[in-house]
Chains A and B, each alone.
Chain A
């Protein structure tokens, strides 16, 4: 089982990194022929950085759109970040000071993560128009994330997995040396779900994470009168004149 999981994690990580890199390269290489920022837009590059930061950190536009969705998404994403950072302790030896410090916060973030996801899913199930726009994969992705959070919390508070062994496995995994992984159903479920999440990331709506940085309505400077903006394919039309 240890070998199987090690291979799965190598494969999923490869898929995640290569897939994501390839996708980002496509976005970066696709021209943006016209200036289309949604105004009122920043008129300087510094302003754009600030706008993008507000979007990525505080979900500014979503805040304007719907307070409930905003609250649940912030709760989910913020918790996910804390939880993920907390898990760094399984990959570092000795554990970095700040990672040790956030352990309790990361633990309780598991609950808020589950609550946020639950709220988002309830919205999908019970709000008519959100149900209308949901696909099967939208539901499944929430279920997958909730499964990850729930199984993680169970190992922490109910079944108590041998975390020392888990850490041994992942430290070994980092150095291409396969160490034994505790044979527990719940741990296997947790890890398999994470493998699935890594694998689908570059092929799914999870691409919203890199996508936002390439969204012309948000990342463009509003200066079309001051600076000529011309893409390569559009410039060719001028030489034909």
Chain B
């Protein structure tokens, strides 16, 4: 940590000069045999390079046949450079291989060589490369410098999404035993224990009991934190950081208070106590699906009518965009789709399935079932950081862009002082916190600090201009990343918190 320094702010929005090779290196820690084998991947790379080489090309061919996104994106790029100054990692590190187009070309150069005619005939002309061990190492290094935040896809004239290419690269790397330690270890924990942090059920129950006491001490009111309650109306699925990390836990208390104040019966599940799904980060459909299936199973066993997801960015993307596909949590399955119908018949379709906790709370606010003392948040001058996976990969409410409006509406309903950050860095153009996509690991601290640069610059502007002292966000990774990285930029780590932390501060409980 000591050797990590924050880069200097730019005069916005100057595009940095290139520093080729700035982030060359070995990449994050490689997953060991035990970790890989637990997920069904080869323990390590084959001794014989030719074997790995052939396996990589075969896997690439397989993915090109399974994913239209990859197939089209390998062909369609014209190197126009629209994305070239859009990635927070490029801005922060100045390494040209962190320009989305260049990152993708690490794979595209191999694609051209093995899958296109000009690449086979005239490799030098079209920038095609043989797959060598060095190329694969380069993949490992640079595809682990992408947080899959999709900011580049907003600006690409063809909608080319680097996240899709990164996911494919990571899946290929995993398939030959060259996986990343942090993500694969976490996936192992969720399979084995039920959540990413490895909190066993007794510890979880203990934590929740402690929370009930804390809230009772603070408010004098018995707010429950129920777990494994059969027949509850709502199943809450939240990132496991919410159970113990600061400031995440304050949002968990907020959710509980909202359920309490509206008289909603709810429950957590000890078997499925995690919303995060790192299967997406490694691009592996099977892992993505297996992890999501736990939620289906919990919902069926507990017999709940609604499924609500807590403050977690990529979890909400997976829940909103993929759960219906993966597990049937949602609506609109064919009548003969027995797998999905089994669950969809149980769910109450007067409500969105699944719903985000912000949708839940905002509905309750609109129905006037919650009341607030906004002055309780007067010590805060608040801004909102749109989390990348919510902003660009999911929605809330009934209208396009609901994911931007609803959290802001909640903040304005519970607090008096709200300031917006500079245009072009919020909503669908938001910058990633710098720690998403399976990069929230200490061995990537240098990258994380540099990746946070654009957000820090803009935050500094509202701090200087408006005295902002609280940045609300709805993502566990944003919260964890910012609390660690912001002190390096000279901010107080307590500036970061959840939207439901603000709800929790202002909500009036009582007998209503």
Give the B-binding residues of A (Cβ under 8 A).
Answer: 23, 26-27, 30-36, 38-43, 47, 55, 59, 61-62, 64-66, 69, 73, 123, 127-130, 132-138, 140, 200, 203-205, 207-208, 211-212, 214-218, 222-230, 233-234, 237-238, 241
Task: Indicate if the CB atoms of A224 and B321 lie closer than 8 Å.
Answer: yes
With the chains together, A218 CA to B69 CA distance in Å? 10
CB pairs A–B below 8 angstroms (11 shown): A27-B68, A30-B66, A40-B403, A129-B84, A129-B85, A133-B102, A133-B105, A212-B76, A215-B160, A227-B332, A237-B289
Bits for B113-142, please: 1 = Cβ < 8 Å to A, else 0.
Answer: 000111000001111000000000000000
Which A residue's beta carbon lies closest to that of B90? A129
Q: In the assembly, what is the distance between CA of A73 and CA of B78, in Å?
A: 12
Using known A-B contacts A40-B401, A135-B127, determine if residue A62 contacts B160 with beta carbons closer than 8 Å: no
Determine if B155 and A39 form an interchain contact, defined as CB atoms under 8 angstroms apart.
Answer: no
A238 contact set on B, CB distance < 8 A = 339
- Closest Cβ neighbor of B355 among chain A residues: A225
> What is the chain B residue whose CB lies nearest that of A230?
B325
Is B68 touching A204 in the complex (CB atoms < 8 A)?
no
Residue of B69, B73, B155 near A61 (CB, 8 A) is B155
Among all A-B residue pairs, the 3 with the closest Cβ atoms: A211-B76, A65-B155, A135-B127
What is the total number of residues of chain B having a CB less than 8 Å from a CB of chain A?
81
Complex interface: chain B residues within 8 A of A47 (CB): 400
Chain B residues with CB under 8 Å of chain A are 15, 17-18, 20, 64-69, 71-73, 75-86, 96, 99, 101-102, 105, 116-118, 124-127, 150, 153-161, 164, 285-286, 289, 320-322, 324-325, 328, 330-334, 337, 339-340, 352-354, 391-395, 399-401, 403-404, 427-429
A23, A134, A207, A218: the one within 8 Å of B159 (CB): A218
- The reply to whether B158 and A30 contact each other, CB–CB distance below 8 Å, is no
A197 to chain B, nearest CB (A): 14
CA separation between A35 and B204, bound complex, in Å? 33
Residues of A within 8 A of B65 (CB): 30
With contact pairs A40-B401, A61-B159 given, residues A215 and B72 touching in the complex (Cβ less than 8 Å): yes
Asked if A208 and B78 make an inter-chain contact with CB atoms under 8 angstroms apart, the answer reads: yes
The distance from the CB of A191 to the nearest CB of chain B, in whole angstroms, is 22
Partner of A30 from the list B68, B83, B102, B320 (CB cut-off 8 Å) is B68
CA distance A71 to B448 in the complex (A): 35
CA of A224 to CA of B429 in the docked complex: distance in angstroms?
A: 22
Indicate whether A225 sits within 8 Å of B18 (C-beta atoms), given known contacts A31-B66, A38-B154, A62-B82.
no
CB of B236, distance to nearest CB on chain A (Å): 17
Contacts of A128 in B (CB 8 A): 17-18
Known contacts: A33-B285, A136-B127. The answer to whether A203 contacts B80 by CB under 8 A is no
A38 close to B75 (CB less than 8 A): no
Knowing A39-B394, A133-B81, A212-B76, say if A217 contacts B67 (CB, 8 Å). Answer: no
Given A137-B127, A225-B330, do A38 and B72 touch, yes or no (CB 8 Å)? Answer: no
**Pairwise interchain contact B325-A217, C-beta atoms closer than 8 A:** no
